[in-house]
Amino acid sequence: MLQEIGGPVPPNTDHAVSVSLPTWKATVAYEEGEPWIVRKMQCGYPRFFVHPTIQELALEVVQRHGNPETETATLFPSPKTAEICHSFISTKLPAEESRKVRILNFVPSTTHTEAQSSAVTSLLSCVVYPKEYASIAKQVWQHSGNGVSSRRGEFCLSALRDGFLIKKEHAVADETSQKFSKGPRRYRGKDSISGMSRGTGVHATSDHSPEKSGNQDGREYLQFIEERFGRNLSTSLADQAKLAVRRRIAGVLTADLDLNAALEEASGEGRIPGLTESDVFLFPTGMSSIFNCHQMLMAARGGMTSICFGFPYIDTLKILQKWGPGCLFYGHGASEDLDDLESRLVNGERFLALFTEVPGNPLLKTPDLQRIRSLADRYDFAVVIDETVGSFLNINVLPYADIVVSSLTKIFSGDSNVMGGSAVLNPHGQYYQTLKETFLAEYEDNYWAEDAVFLERNSRDFVSRIEKINHTTEEVTAMLKNSTVVKNVYYPKWNPSRPLYEAVRNPDGGYGGLFSITFHSAAAAVAFFDHLEVHKGPSLGTNFTLSCPYTLLAHFSELEWAKSFGIDPNLVRVSVGLEELPELQSRIQAALDAATSV
pLDDT of the residue at 228: 42
Q: How far is CA 125 from the centre of its chain?
A: 20
Q: How many C-beta neighbours within 10 Å does residue 526 have?
A: 21
Q: How far is CA 520 from the centre of its chain?
A: 33
Among 74, 56, 77, CA closest to 138: 74
pLDDT along the chain (598 residues), means of 10: 84 94 96 94 91 97 96 97 97 93 90 40 89 96 96 94 84 35 28 28 32 39 45 66 93 54 59 89 97 97 96 93 95 97 98 98 97 98 97 94 97 96 96 97 94 94 95 98 97 97 95 98 98 96 97 94 96 98 98 96
DSSP state of 556: G
pLDDT of the residue at 225: 45
pLDDT of the residue at 259: 55
Tell me: the pLDDT tens digits for 93-151? 999 999 999 999 999 886 443 433 333 456 899 999 999 999 999 999 999 999 999 99
What one-letter code names the amino acid at 365? Answer: K
Fold of the domain built from segment(s) 235-459: Aspartate Aminotransferase; domain 2 (3.40.640)
pLDDT of the residue at 96: 92
Residues 6 or more apart whose Cβ sits within 8 Å of residue 460: 255, 256, 259
**Span 462-597 CATH architecture:** Alpha-Beta Complex (3.90)
pLDDT of the residue at 239: 87
pLDDT of the residue at 235: 56
pLDDT of the residue at 271: 72
DSSP-assigned letters across all residues of 487-532: EEEE-TTTSTTHHHHHTTB-TT----SEEEEEESSHHHHHHHHHH-
Distance (Å) of CA 78 to CA 441, 484, 488: 16, 54, 46
What own/partner pairs with CB < 8 Å and gap ≥ 24 does 403-407 have?
403/293, 403/297, 403/429, 403/435, 405/286, 405/289, 405/290, 405/293, 406/249, 406/286, 406/289, 407/285, 407/286, 407/287, 407/289, 407/541
Distance (Å) of CA 270 to CA 247, 461, 504: 8, 18, 17
β-pairing verdict for 327-330 and 306-309: parallel
pLDDT of the residue at 238: 85
DSSP-assigned letters across all residues of 237-251: GHHHHHHHHHHHHHT
Dist CA 104 CA 89 (whole Å): 15
Helices (H) and strands (E) in the chain, counts: 24, 18
Domains 235-459 and 462-597 share a fold: no
pLDDT of the residue at 237: 79
* Overall pTM > 0.75: yes
Domain boundaries, given as residue ranges, for the chain: 45-170, 235-459, 462-597
